[in-house]
Amino acid sequence: MSQVTISLPAALNASLETRANAAGFRSKEDYLLALVQADCERAELEPVLEARLEGPFEPLEVDWKQRVREAAQDRG
């Protein structure tokens, strides 16, 4: 695994620690890694979603909201 080192002003570091703890992460490093991973996933997903706007469309199942919620919870 590659390593990246960044320097943060004290106030930003304290804010990062607070946000990481509030989100339930073990460390600010884990929190930052999750943010970067989510951003990369979003960047990969956007072109797929834009292409799907062209159709064809299929009706959603009745329980689609619940299945999305469960999938999101499983991912953390």
Express each pLDDT in 12-54 by its tens digit. 999 999 999 999 999 999 999 999 999 998 888 888 888 888 8
Which letter, b or e, does each residue of 17-38 get, where b requires 16 or more Cβ atoms within 10 Å of its Cβ?
Answer: eeebeeeebeebeebbeeeeee
Instruction: Tell me the residue type at 67.
Output: R
Instruction: Tell me the residue type at 50.
Output: E
pLDDT confidence bin for 1, thresholds 50/70/90: confident
Q: Taking each helix axis from N to C terminus, what angle separates 10-22 and 28-52, rounded to the nearest 10 degrees?
A: 70
Q: What is the Cα–Cα distance from 33 to 9, expressed in whole angstroms?
A: 19
pTM for this structure? Answer: 0.59
To which residue do tokens 């930003």 refer? 12
